[in-house]
Amino acid sequence: MSRIVRFHEFGEADVLKIEERTAPAPAAGEVLVGVEAVGVSWYDVLWRQNLANTPTQLPAGLGHELAGVVLAVGDGVTDLAVGDRVASFPGHSANRYPSYAEHVVLPRSSLARYPDPLTAQQAAVHYLPSMVGWFGFVELARLQPGETVLVTAASRCWGPYI
């Protein structure tokens, strides 16, 4: 069994309930993550009040930001393995893939490995500028040591971290 935070009506924080569920299993292109930390954002507050830009479907889970360890991978996921430390990015809907839970399944495209110097708590806050830079350079562009990249507007967001 696995616990998840859900709500069955819109409102303040008191509508949130911890519920038991069967631990999910990843389908093709998905990854099962054992959650170690979640980020709580203003969007989550809007979500549980049905004020976010995407309509919330009740009953609902919430959250987009998490860090944890890969527990299983679905068919077609070849670049992550059991034991990898990963953090999520908002490339998915909390209607289908909520993150406030002990075990979550996410699309592979919503996850990136995070670097060793970060704790799970730091990596869970995926808007952290250094994670944005890491994701762009390492996971998406697959830059290698010795390669050069031009960063425009480097004084903003994650520029100071590179």
Q: Coil, strand, or helix at residue 85?
A: strand
Q: What is the DSSP string of 70-96?
A: EEEE-TT--S--TT-EEEE-S-S-TTT
- The first and second tokens of residue 82, run together, are 């059991």
pTM of the full structure: 0.78
pLDDT for the residue 25: 96
151 pLDDT more than 80: no
* Domains located in the chain, CATH noted: 2-127 (3.90.180.10)
Q: Please, what is the average pLDDT of the chain?
A: 88
Report pLDDT digits (tens) over 61-100.
998 889 999 999 999 999 999 999 999 977 778 899 999 9
